[in-house]
Amino acid sequence: MSLDASLRARAAKVIPGGMYGHLNAALHGDRYPQFFVRAEGARQWDADGREYVDLMCSWGPMIVGHRNPRVEAAAAAQQAEGDCLNGPGPVMVELAELLVDLIPSADWAMFSKNGTDATTQALMVARAATGRTKALVAHGAYHGADPWCTPGMSGVTPNQRADTIEFTYNDLAGAEAAAAQADGDVAAILVTPFKHDSFEDQEPADAEFARGVRALADRLGAALVIDDVRAGWRLDLRGSWEPLGVRPDLTAWSKAMANGFPIAAVTGTDALRGAAQTLYSTGSFWFSATAMAAAKATIEILREIDGPALMHRAGTRLREGIAAQAAAHGFVVRQTGPVQVPWLSFEDDDTLEKGIAWAGACLEEGVYLHAWHNWFLSAAHTDEEIDRALQGTDAAFAKLRAAYGAD
């Protein structure tokens, strides 16, 4: 029995289902390992010692390389002084100042631990500011795992979903209709920077849609909230809709903010500062200083090296390489989403059978990516790492052709 299998058997006795949540390998396919023991740069090693080029970046949090020396040093220095104290460390002020300096739509920042914390906190600010209840959200969009937004309904009551009204992403008329349905009770319009729903091709935000929801929020007197938890820090350090010229009232951040250390943030405009300070929103570990020190170091690195540009270069190299390989092996594929946050699907593969088989073959070749969730690039994905990944994806295409034939 492999060590991974042994750990799964032991876990099944003491953890419900043996594992839960988005890292549950049972959701991903038979070939995915559950347990990992080490990471360095752009690589990870599973419990049985298999090495992978990590194209999931721990599902988003890694952005400047696993165990980045500068981030680790900043975290270690803070940890040596103290982490969870009777109040936050000075680094909380320093990190908030950094965010306000970097992000044009930010006049203040509040901190927590996970993306769900940040999206929920942002909605609380919007409701406190407006005195209204409803949030307009795109159908299928992922905003976290609290009852108001979790994809599953187990343990969730209808009342906990009653204050969200859905529209179709990039459909401005649909957003307008959702607002009309709320009959004047819209506190917030919550959108992701691009459509990154699981199990389907990604879709960029149409500029007209982005400007339209900004105008709709203004007309309603509601807050426009950007959920930048997944895309944040990879597309544009100032905010993912900044290149579109659309600035939100509130932004939720997390994942890559501290290169794997647990932290999230909400940033907002001065107009919402008063509402934000009325919240009672807290947690025992929300003010821990170590993750804040790691976040400060991570963001400083990204700013110094122009992290989004590096990731764009790496993602372009990966996308162009995969496109050439697919064509050479006779497959028609679609690569969607920003190159820094890519995904691949096969033509005429609605069940994702080919995608799952190809992703499994990639695992066998030492490349960790996913068949139904977007991938992530990092500043640690050098040309060498991308070329190693492309060796694996090419071999995986060859295996797929042997099993299925060309399209």
Q: What is the pLDDT of residues 148-173, one digit of tens each?
A: 999 999 999 999 999 999 999 999 99
Q: Is the pLDDT of residue 407 over 90?
A: no
Report the CATH number of the 69-305 domain: 3.40.640.10
SS3 281: coil
User: Which residue type sits at 15?
Assistant: I
Does 254 or 406 have the greater pLDDT score? 254
Mean local confidence (pLDDT), 310-325: 98
Mean local confidence (pLDDT), 293-306: 98
pLDDT value, residue 406 = 82
* pLDDT band for position 320 (cuts 50, 70, 90): very high
Nearest CA-CA partner of 201 in 376, 29, 28, 371: 371
Mean local confidence (pLDDT), 371-386: 98
Angstrom CA distances, 327 to 48, 334, 368, 403, stand at: 34, 11, 22, 17
Percent of the chain topping pLDDT 70: 100
Mean local confidence (pLDDT), 274-282: 98
**Residue 54 pairs with which residues in a beta bridge?**
368
* pLDDT band for position 15 (cuts 50, 70, 90): very high
E strand or H helix at 52: strand 51-54
As annotated, the residues of the chain forming the CATH 3.40.640.10 domain(s) are 69-305
- Strands 250-253 vs 223-227: parallel, antiparallel or unpaired: parallel
Percent of the chain topping pLDDT 90: 99
pLDDT value, residue 1 = 84
Q: Is the pLDDT of residue 54 over 90?
A: yes
Which two three-digit tokens encode residue 170?
Answer: 């990039």
As annotated, the residues of the chain forming the CATH 3.90.1150.10 domain(s) are 21-54+307-402
Q: What pTM, to 2 d.p., does this model score?
A: 0.97
- The reply to whether CATH 3.90.1150.10 applies to domain 21-54+307-402 is yes
